[in-house]
């Protein structure tokens, strides 16, 4: 059986298609949590809830139509089985996505290497970044996204599922379900701030904080005016 790592044997550094140019350094490299990405991206908890509701509804529907006990029991069990099967499928798919994904933060850019059947690499230079957002959960994992400056867009088909969900400002590349998220966000913030300072493109030099409360994003100052806290969905 062919090892999936063979597809990336050409990489001089895991996650990078080429050797970084002189002056560029890798600050952090990692992957999403393997068995958590699927449940997070595909919301498998709600899939199970939906099929549990359908299973319970099938009992009342069977009773109203005079169905026998055996038929009601079979329908109930079938709904639960289908829900569990779909949840397992999504979790396995998330695992496949995670093991083929490497996020790399350098002092110049964010690199997202991903793809189960069609490997691709997304480069996000810090000079193109308008804002960074970090959502750190209670378990320490985080989603860290980058909003791009006007005129810079990425196709959702090229970056999914490594994008900020429910973003109404266009697709935003993101690192999903990153372990030790507060530390990773801090590394990204420091690199982004230093790079923008070096290019004299930053207006606000205050050191940003990473919010550790669930359901909140803390904008990181970059090529924008001083940011403000705003709420975000899951």
pLDDT in tens, 34-85: 989 999 999 999 999 999 999 999 998 888 888 888 888 999 999 999 999 9
Could you give the 3-state DSSP secondary structure of residue 27? strand
Specify the number of domains making up the chain: 2
Q: Is residue 15 part of a domain?
A: no
46 and 125 fall within a common domain: no
216 and 161 fall within a common domain: yes
Q: Is residue 6 part of a domain?
A: no
Which residues face 83 on adjacent strands? Answer: none
pTM above threshold 0.85: no
127 and 212 fall within a common domain: yes
Q: Is residue 5 part of a domain?
A: no
CA–CA separation, 185 and 191 (whole Å): 10
110 and 128 fall within a common domain: yes
Which residues, 6+ apart, have CB-to-CB distance to 203 below 8 Å? 221, 223, 224, 225, 226
- CB of 178 within 8 A of CB of 144? yes
- CB of 142 within 8 A of CB of 218? no
127 and 200 fall within a common domain: yes
- CB of 171 within 8 A of CB of 163? yes
60 and 119 fall within a common domain: no
141 and 185 fall within a common domain: yes
126 and 191 fall within a common domain: yes
155 and 190 fall within a common domain: yes
pLDDT digits (tens, 9 = 90+) for 120-177: 999 999 988 888 899 999 899 999 999 888 888 888 888 999 999 887 678 899 999 9
Domain of 221 in residue numbering reads as 24-33+105-227
pLDDT for residue 9 = 62
Residue of 178 and 10 predicted with greater confidence = 178
């Amino acid at each position: 059986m062919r090892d999936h790592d063979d597809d990336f044997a050409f990489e001089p550094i895991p996650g990078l298609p080429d050797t970084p140019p002189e002056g560029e350094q890798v600050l952090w490299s990692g992957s999403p949590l393997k068995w958590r990405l699927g449940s997070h991206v595909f919301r498998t908890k709600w899939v199970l809830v939906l099929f549990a509701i359908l299973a319970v509804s099938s009992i009342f529907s069977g009773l109203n139509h005079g169905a026998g006990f055996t038929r009601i029991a079979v329908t109930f069990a079938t709904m639960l089985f289908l829900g569990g099967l779909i949840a397992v499928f999504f979790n396995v798919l998330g695992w496949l996505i995670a093991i083929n994904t490497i996020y790399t933060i350098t002092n110049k850019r964010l690199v997202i290497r991903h793809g189960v059947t069609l490997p691709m690499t997304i480069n996000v230079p810090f000079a193109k970044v308008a804002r960074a957002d970090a959502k750190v959960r209670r378990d320490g994992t985080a989603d860290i996204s980058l909003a791009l400056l006007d005129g810079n867009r990425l196709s959702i088909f090229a970056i999914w599922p490594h994008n900020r969900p429910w973003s109404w400002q266009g697709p935003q590349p993101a690192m999903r379900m990153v372990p030790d998220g507060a530390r990773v966000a801090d590394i990204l913030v420091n690199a982004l701030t230093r790079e923008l300072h070096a290019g004299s493109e930053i207006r606000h030099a205050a050191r940003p904080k990473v919010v550790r409360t669930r359901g909140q994003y803390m904008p990181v100052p970059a090529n924008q005016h001083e940011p403000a806290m705003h709420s975000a969905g899951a």
